[in-house]
Amino acid sequence: MNSTRSETAHTPPAAIAPGVVPVTQSTMRVIAAASIGTVFEWYDFTLYGSLATVIAKKFFAGVDPTTGFIFALLTFGVGFIMRPFGAVVFGRVGDRIGRKKTFLVTVIIMGVATVGVGCLPGYDSIGIFAPILLIALRMLQGTALGGEYGGAATYVAEHSPRNRRGLNTSWISSTGTVGLLLSFAVILLVRWLTGDHFDAWGWRIPFIFSIVLLLISVRIRLNMHESPAFELLKSESRLSRAPLSETFLEWANIKRLLVALFAICGGMTCVYYTAVLYPTFFLTQTLKVDPQEANIVVTLATLTCIPMFLGAGWLCDRFGRKPVLLIGFLLTAVTLFPIFKAMTQYANPALASAQSSAPIVIDADPAECSFMFNPVGSRHFTSSCDIAKQALSAAGVSYEIRSGGTGETTAIHIGGSSVQSYDAKGLDKAQAGARAVAFNTSLRSALDAARYPQKADPASFNKPMVFMLLVVLLAYMALTLVPTAPALVELFPTRIRYTSMSFPYHFASGWIGGLLPTFSFALSAQKGNIYFGLWYPMAWIIGSFVVALFFLRETKDVDLNAEF
């Protein structure tokens, strides 16, 4: 059978002719089938991120609150660390036996693991087994998620004419936002219904509710048809016999992988998480805004940004993937710090005012100051410097560390007053507890005298301005996320496309973006600056801009069935 006859037999007209083709009902079914897993993915993603504080209390009760929160964030990151492994496993399956069957398996695993989190007993019930099982479920989720996005983008792009690949795949990104909105809405509704019981057991309901998404996903994906590009390769016996070897051992493809990771995915994933996830942590953990108030503003801003995805899709079809991506990186790099500083001013003006009028300075022996990252909760910070930094970080305030005398006890200077820290080495539990109470009481009194608020005042929370700042961040996110799908699909040949595009995307999502909250929170706590953690995503964004500028080629007009 010759190539022309085979393509006609197995490929709908939209996949053969690159001309202007209207969006048909069949195309919309393809988009819906591919996108439902993305809804599921970001529903779970937002649940865990929004409820990290509650999860820390339920599953990591054996450590102090700050360490528990970092541990909860790390567990959140564990799921993302597993994503590149899932990309390799399910990418190979998708390139060998097809996109449809792989989709069905991944969505079932995702659903079972998500429901499992909602049913899992807490630390008070089963002790150390609670965090162990939670981590196991997050690993299972991450492995399944590794097979999702690459397959969804590949499936939609392979059904699309070349002049609509950006717009059609942008629906996947926009439906991911639907998952975010659904998560926010379910959390708000359950908080309202359960009231004071939400932290006790109500938080489980949003996870268990995901069984509804699972049933819908399975029903839709059972009716999916295989992608035309894959069917064409299969009919001509041109499927890859070793997708992993071709992906990771052939130098031509290794170069494509490096460009995909460093020019596209690294910066994109940091823009995404900085716009979608980090503001929630920043508002609630650092600025002490009421979680419900923060979720409402984030939800409204996210809802507003949905049309931006389709607009970005049109732009990258009209002008190319590369220029849209570069503009998104550049705008984010220039305005990221000003946006978060403005967020402090409008969300908690009392904190911004106090930091300006009464800056906090710590005089400490540098030898006593440890790096505050303690993800497994095994370290005990007992020096006077570490105790001071831990207390100030928990209060959500910035501070400067000055070198004091060797062996001197750390002193905290707040405006015109000073508070002496203490050394807990050698103290028994009762003595350490009494010293902690006395120290924290003195510190809080000094902070109150300098007008540092314990919580953000709801009456001073400027919702319209915070909303506008979030919308700007989300616009940057759309400009960088939407070109990613078509650009990755177009970089790799069909026979190894699922594996090759999935790996850099999920490596970046897992190892770069998934750990962003953990690293950013820990860096800010270590440095004593609530904005310092932003340097982690900033470095990736600037690096991706430079690499993309010089090494990323434009791909919007490539033939997806071409051999290269």
Question: pLDDT tens track of the chain, all 564 residues?
Answer: 343 333 333 334 333 333 344 556 677 777 887 888 778 877 876 787 778 778 878 887 766 666 666 677 677 767 778 889 999 999 998 888 887 788 788 888 888 988 998 998 988 888 888 888 888 888 888 888 888 888 888 888 888 888 889 999 998 888 877 887 888 789 889 989 998 889 889 999 999 998 988 888 888 888 777 778 788 888 888 888 889 999 999 999 999 999 999 999 999 999 998 998 889 888 988 899 998 888 889 888 988 888 999 999 999 999 999 999 999 999 999 999 999 999 999 999 999 999 889 999 988 888 887 766 654 445 567 788 888 888 888 888 888 888 877 778 888 999 888 999 888 887 888 888 888 899 889 999 999 999 999 899 999 999 999 999 999 999 999 999 999 999 999 999 989 999 999 999 989 987 888 778 778 877 887 788 889 989 999 999 999 999 999 999 999 988 887 766
- Where among 430, 445, 460 does a domain terminate? 445
H helix intervals, 51-164: 52-59, 65-81, 83-97, 99-119, 123-126, 129-145, 149-158
* Termini Cα distance of the chain: 22
> Does residue 16 lie within any of the structural domains?
no
Q: Containing domain of residue 123, as a range?
A: 26-336+479-551
178 and 76 both lie in a single domain? yes
Angle ∠(514,53,48) on CA atoms, nearest 5: 45
| Residue 400 DSSP symbol | E
Partner residues linked to 82 by β-bridges: none
Distances 346 to 138, 466, 520, 563 between C-alpha atoms, Å: 35, 6, 21, 54
- Residue ending a domain, choose from 445, 467, 498: 445
Residues 128, 142: Cα–Cα separation, whole Å: 22
Q: Cα(195)–Cα(205) distance, rounded to whole angstroms?
A: 13
Residue 516: which CATH number?
1.20.1250.20
- Quick one: 145 and 294 in the same domain? yes
Residue 321 lies in a domain: yes
Q: Between the CA atoms of 367, 370, 371 and 375, what dihedral angle is there, to the nearest 10 degrees? A: 160
Contact 276, 442 (CB under 8 A): no
Between CA 498 and CA 148 the distance in angstroms is: 10
Alpha-carbon distance of 474 to 477, in angstroms, equals 5
Burial-class residue 323 by CB neighbours within 10 Å (0-12, 13-18, 19+).
middle
Query: Of 445, 462, 492, which marks where a domain is finished?
Result: 445
- DSSP string covering 274-323, please? HHHTHHHHIIIIIS---HHHHHHHHHHHHHHTHHHHHHHHHHHHHT-HHH
Measured at the CA of 458, the angle between CA 453 and CA 462, to 5 degrees, comes to 105
- Stated pTM of the model: 0.82
C-beta of residue 65 within 8 angstroms of C-beta of residue 54:
no
Are 328 and 388 found together in one domain? Answer: no
| Those residues with Cβ within 8 angstroms of residue 258's Cβ, 6 or more apart along the chain or in another chain | none
Q: How many domains does the chain have?
A: 2
